[in-house]
Amino acid sequence: MQRFILSKKNQITLISATLIVVAFISHFGLGNIDISIWSLIIASLLGVAPIVIQAYQALKVKVVSIDVLVTIAVLGAFIIKNYEESAIVTFLFLFGAYLEQRTLNQTRSAIKELTEMAPESALKQMENGEFEEVEVDEVDVGDILLVKTGAKVPVDGTVITGEGHINEASITGESVPVGKTKDSKVYAGTILENGTLQIVADRVGEDTTFGKIIELVEEAQDSKSEAERFIDRFSKYYTPAVLIIAFIVWLVSRDIELAITILVLGCPGALVIGVPVSNVAGIGNGARNGVLLKGSEVIQFFSKVDTMAFDKTGTLTVGNPTVAETEYYGENINEALGYLASVESESDHPLAKAVLEEIGNIELSPVENTDVVKGGGIVATVNGHRIAVGNVKLMEQENVELSEKACSDIKRLEEKGNSLVLTAVDGELKILMGVRDQVRKGVKEVLQKLKALGVKNLVLLSGDNQGTVDLVARELGLTEAHGHMLPEDKSAYIEKLQAQGQIVAFVGDGVNDSPSLALADIGIAMGSGTDVAIETSDVVLMNSDFNRLPHALGLAKATASNMRQNIIIAVGVVIVLLASVFLSDWMNMSIGMLAHEASILVVILNGMRLLRYSLRK
């Protein structure tokens, strides 16, 4: 029976809420006191059932939890026939527990999703030299594997033959596919976008980088889920104190009514309500403003953050490489753009898409005599003209003369972290394009607001090369910047910051960010990121609106402050009421209950202020 009742806590909470609404409508709307009273009695009995069970289970292990005090307080309220108090307290107590449990369940589902993304099969070279499909568990270190276009790399390994471009977003978070040739390293879980590779397995199973991601998420979530709720910690002292005071009063005075009065006045009605009201109001404000805060524990930690670490691609940057700058040289530029588009339309190079998007709709011409120059670009014939599209090295091979202005432009674009695409027509430079992942609009202003809100350290952790990372850091005014970081490197650096006593928030959006999101004191995911990143995180910026981050932090600080205010109000009122019972002649049950109900109203109104919170204020 106990297990059945506890399994129906959510349904009981909903029924209790409905009965309370019916009671108030009957009392104030219809004037039917009987229906109102019976609705409150039934709501109290239903609501207190799981609380009584939890109190019993706590007492069995010698823990006097707040469930114990709520149980006794509800019984006391029944004795003095204050059914409204008992019904509201039990409902809000259960509703607060529901919010926390819901968040925990969502977080746990991340591990399952991660596991489902892991490679399941591989093409393994057998003794006869043929490649056969086997389960990834059957692959051993040293085995030779074949990876075809569109397939997942099954293990961490080294390329022995073939060329291609691999999308490593699941590991490094970088959106630009990386070219792979002989002796290049590849990682399990990444996707070969074009080409064919033969690799030798270096690490398999749980030892792969992807396997470590899953392991890191599991470990981080386990440690985080053990955090206690603040109210339970407080009740360790508060609950026994109220019980002892009431018992002593009964022993001394033998006045059971006075003892029950003290117990009822000591009932943590405002205390139990105060934190959930602040929590719900803060979460509600966040939801309306594009921010999902996952529970009161998250809000408490978030409000204390003094260090924020960021992934680069998809977080500080858009995550989609585009042409950032273009320079033209000489005449007949439109004609040259048509030649460039014609050549790039036949290329599968990652930068070709960005170039074609920049040019837009244009008439294409037949391309002949295409020659792919390894590490340089493409040379082809279009309408009788020799077209060279590629990097500076290709231009030198084609004996293309670079003017002083062109050299200056090339140097300037390279210093800004651009990948260069040069186009020459018949040996004459016509077009220079700089392609890079653009910084999100307004990011610099957002980071300045975070500093104003008390974030002392802004750290960039990226799988991209150190040069590009440094450029982004200088542009945005970040405190630190670290490149060439795999998921385990990011996690290790976050642990290092935490060991130094810093409260760390990590902002990211990819599968590769999941361990860091789970390990950080607060994980913040972009809403358009992977489901795993979103589920693992504590805070989600819906619609990937990075501009909402200062509002999220400011709201967390305001909510945490509001929770503290409500706790002080609730405890203060209880202390005053209990003291007045002994130190005044005017305190009685009616006045005490009036003050008690007033304190509940005060903490509710105080919490509701958060619904109107705005960072500008």
Which of the residues are catalytic?
311
Strand ranges in 241-306 using DSSP code E only, listed in sequence order: 291-293
d(CA 606, CA 602): 6
Say how far apart CA 214 and CA 108 lie, in whole Å. 12
327 CB neighbour count, 10 Å cutoff: 18
Q: What is the DSSP letter of 439?
A: B
State the DSSP H helix or E strand holding residue 245, giving kind and residue range, or none if neither: helix 230-253
Separation of first and last alpha carbons in the chain: 51
**Tokens standing for residue 65:** 């939890």
The residue length of the chain stands at 617
CA distance 387 to 469: 33
Q: Is 70 exposed, middle or buried (0-12, 13-18, 19+ CB in 10 A)?
A: buried
Q: Find where tokens 């974030």 sit.
A: 455
- Rounded to whole angstroms, the Cα distance separating 136 from 362 reads 46
Q: At what angle do helices 66-79 and 83-117 cross, to 10 degrees?
A: 150
At 317, the amino acid letter reads: T
Beta strand pairing call for 457-461 and 480-482: parallel
Q: d(Cα 580, Cα 302) in Å, to the nearest integer? A: 38
Which of helix, strand or coil describes residue 437?
A: coil
> Using alpha carbons only, what angle is made at residue 475 by residues 471 and 480, rounded to the nearest 5 degrees?
70
Asked if 58 and 68 touch (Cβ cutoff 8 Å), the reply is: yes
CA angle 239, 241, 246 (to 5 degrees): 100
